[in-house]
Chain A
């Protein structure tokens, strides 16, 4: 490794400034990445990490300051220029060309033809120990596979600098480990890597140095071994009202006896696209975790419950009443609300105002002329209750950070005054502080008597929140855990092994 080679930094950024609409987002940031180094970059929502990385990747032009990649200055920033200097940014939201083949998606923009690169790509796919059909149309890929396409794009470009923006947020633990092995290999080959993540455990596992960004400036920099988790989180969150967020939200006290509480949601022998014969119930005030790996059929189950997909056989009862002919409208009116997994695609109206977004589920109850006053009233209520950081009710939803967008969606669900709330991956791409806020909210909702069905691939999250866990694998219900039996290992055991066993 060439860690001491200070003359040849892979990336050297000095004193860059950038502002949007008069607000400075980057205030004179200096950051250096050495070849063969994995450099963790942490920061809350709006701290400026993505602006910083986009500047380095040529997607954003800073107002002043200089950026050097592999010893050469990045003048006239553009993605093409940055890539020519040997840098590739793997974005958090995979950028896919849906009508092209997977192979074409990986090779596009390269000089060599897709045919010539096929062998190399197949080898990389093998190294990553993932399965990917190179000839499939990219539109059919799941989110995790899209992410893998992005990572392959970076690898096939033989980049000397890689920026990985939350690369594991859509991966299963198994895939994430394979990715880390690959990152270590690249590190040995002298590739410099910026690694953006909210998961401290991951960062400790593969990063050498850490920089923490807050309000557009670096507030902590050093070798990872020199800081403990508390110091890192403190550096990240200090300015947010002077209060430091906890590294982890308090674990839920599982004391209430739910056997006495009434069932709010009962599902019996339920089958549909991607899942079969599922039966469970959710009681008032209970958080039921629905765990499993990506592709286990959990989102399909939720979407079928909410009337987005044709349902097969089985019954669904909400507060004792049969829910037949389900459509999103009848479900909302009956008190069942769904927070979808992909907030950009299925959840938010990105161009519309926050107030409009929040009244999304209740619009049909507002009469022919929806009253703006009522909307804004509702808005300020939720803004305070959920701690949404925004300019006001008229701001476009697309301009908020991930965590705040998720809170807006949560507010939309709550505005419908539901009895049962289905949350699908509620903290994906959300930073530590906002995640804790969301956890606290889910607790509060359960205490108020709401039944919560929590779908998550993050087993830590399930362990922290759920009173009871249903585990699914390959579309089947393969286990149930309650109370003290809930821990990450037990869930993982069920999700991976029983799924394999039942199909072996």
Chain B
């Protein structure tokens, strides 16, 4: 049972999310409806897109805290181009390219100039936000054309063009990380960079690709943001990078790199977004949002940690049961695959209780 939770992190979180929905549904009738689902889905699009890119970077054992600024910068570029009369399609393409370029810049800093990613992206977090403010002169961009806003409107079946775009992005990243050789390299580079290099993987290329993808996805999030609210404030995208990292952690993406999956990020984002919508239904004042979101996040991670410790204990007990006097292992000669925790880094914290 415990084993199942530890191995199926995504399923566990999914279960918790469903349970939370049901509980809230019982307290606040009317919460469990298609319209709520539709609201949560469209509210989660921006965070989902940013978190997806962040996942790719985290997989390679880097971190990207500049995505909020990339979002803002590309949204502003989109807005300026549109308001100067450019067509929607070319404006979107240029906007995405700007995001990719910003990601490339991050990637080059991290690989060729070996700046630690947290420092490099902290720097560009300010830099990109600054470029955005210079471009707008500190003013908000308003009166975006109807053609852009139309992208966010739900069609006849309650799904907008943007939702489709995000689903395609999710499916694409999932397919690449799961089924392609290059996708496996993201995991390899994050798991043990030296080993990946030793195996002939071009680790710089892989890391840069992750940053470029993260930049492009942040730009897509910028487009979604602009289309959904119809104007671009100065603080567009502020703080979304941290929410994206939190959603990744919730979804089981290891900050140490090398493990995590798209379904995990998906569930993590939905979970975080539904907290906000649930509070509305529970008639809790909006200024409680941050407090409750933070507390829930901590609670989930704490429970998760407890479960993991319990599972590790169970595994250890099973592993060493072989040595008890009554159960002979029946082997002749040296045993090779009795794993020893010497290799699984025994730390004092494991024995703390």
Contacts and interface: CB of A to CB of B under 8 A. Distances in A.
Interface stretch (B144-152, B214-222, B329-337): B329-337
Interface string A281-299: 0000000000001110101
A476 to B, nearest CB: 8
Given A139-B343, A141-B343, A309-B351, A98 B199 contact: no
B324 A295 contact: no
Given A80-B202, A132-B337, A293-B334, A310 B346 contact: no
A475 B323 contact: yes
B251 to A, nearest CB: 16
A314 B334 CA distance: 26
A91 B191 contact: no
A97 B258 contact: yes
Interface string A71-114: 00000001110011000010100011111100010001101010
Contact of A299 (B191, B197, B332, B342): B342
B155 interface: no
A145 interface: yes
Given A100-B187, A142-B343, A303-B346, A297 B336 contact: no
A146 interface: yes
A80 B325 contact: no
Given A109-B200, A172-B334, A475-B323, A141 B195 contact: no
Interface in B313-341: 316, 319-320, 322-325, 328-341
Contacts of A91: 198
Interface string B187-208: 1100110111111111000000
A153 interface: yes
Nearest to A495: B334
A488 interface: no
Interface string A15-31: 00000000000000000
A108 B201 contact: yes
Contact of B323 (A78, A274, A293): A274
A201 interface: no
Contact of A503 (B198, B202, B330): B330
Contacts of A146: 343
Contact of A139 (B185, B319, B332, B344): B344
B336 A144 contact: yes
A141 B343 CA distance: 7
Contacts of B316: 273
B348 interface: yes
Interface in B143-200: 181, 184-185, 187-188, 191-192, 194-200
A295 B329 contact: no
B336 A130 contact: yes
A345 B192 CA distance: 14
A276 B323 CA distance: 7
B33 interface: no
Contacts of A108: 184-185, 188, 196, 199, 201
The residue in A84, A109, A111, A503 that gathers the most chain B C-beta atoms within 10 A of its C-beta is: A109
B258 A98 contact: yes
A500 B342 contact: no
A131 interface: yes
A95 B200 contact: no
B176 to A, nearest CB: 15
A503 to B, nearest CB: 5
A140 B339 contact: yes
Nearest to A58: B200
Contacts of A503: 328-332
B336 A132 contact: yes
The residue in B199, B316, B320, B341 that gathers the most chain A C-beta atoms within 10 A of its C-beta is: B199
A378 interface: no
B134 to A, nearest CB: 40
B44 interface: no
B198 A99 contact: no
Nearest to B325: A276
Interface in A119-161: 130-133, 136, 139-146, 153
A308 interface: yes
A502 to B, nearest CB: 8
A504 interface: yes
Contacts of B345: 345
A308 B332 CA distance: 30
Given A108-B184, A141-B343, A274-B320, A133 B198 contact: no
A310 B351 contact: yes
B43 interface: no
A131 B331 CA distance: 12
A97 B192 contact: yes
A500 B328 CA distance: 10
A145 B337 contact: yes
Interface in A467-500: 474-476, 496, 499-500
Nearest to B199: A109
A2 B323 CA distance: 51
A208 interface: no
Given A98-B192, A136-B339, A300-B342, 7 more contacts: A97-B192, A97-B196, A108-B185, A273-B319, A308-B348, A327-B348, A504-B332
10 contacts: A108-B199, A140-B343, A144-B336, A274-B340, A276-B323, A295-B340, A309-B351, A310-B351, A328-B348, A474-B331
Interface of B: 181, 184-185, 187-188, 191-192, 194-202, 254, 258-259, 316, 319-320, 322-325, 328-346, 348, 351
